[in-house]
Amino acid sequence: MAELTGGKQALDQEAAYEIQETYAGKPHGWIQWKGTDVCMDIHCKCGQHSHYDGDFLYHVQCPACKTVYMCNGHIELIELKTPPEEGVKIAEE
């Protein structure tokens, strides 16, 4: 499998927290796990594509190369000029 490029690497969880993309000054969200399920397709640097279904995905390990990743809780928000007709949730103040 071809190795993907552009990934970040940190010594440990604390170091990973310091270098994660926080989208500071940009529209973004922060995931606060509250017992909810996550369904995630995972693309590893080694080229392995895997999947996870379950609760509280803070860290994930590639089943092929055993690399461990911290899952960044920050997510990018992309403004839509034309919103979809259904499925838009109104944020609470």
Domain for residue 13, yes or no?
A: no
If one counts the domains in the chain, the total is 1
Whole-prediction pTM: 0.76
What pLDDT is attached to residue 35? 73
pLDDT of residue 1: 43
Which structural domain range is residue 42 located in? 29-76
pLDDT of residue 51: 95
Asked whether residue 4 carries a pLDDT value surpassing 90, the answer given is: no
**For the segment 43-91, what is each residue's pLDDT rounded down to a tens digit?**
999 999 999 999 888 899 999 999 999 999 899 898 889 999 999 999 9
Is position 41 within any domain?
yes
Q: How confident is the model at residue 17 (pLDDT cuts 50, 70, 90)?
A: confident
SS (H, E, C) the chain: CCCCCCCCCCCCHHHHHHHCCCCCCCCEEECCCCCCEEEEEEECCCCCEEEEEEECCCEEECCCCCCEEECCCEEECCCCCCCCCCCCCCCCC
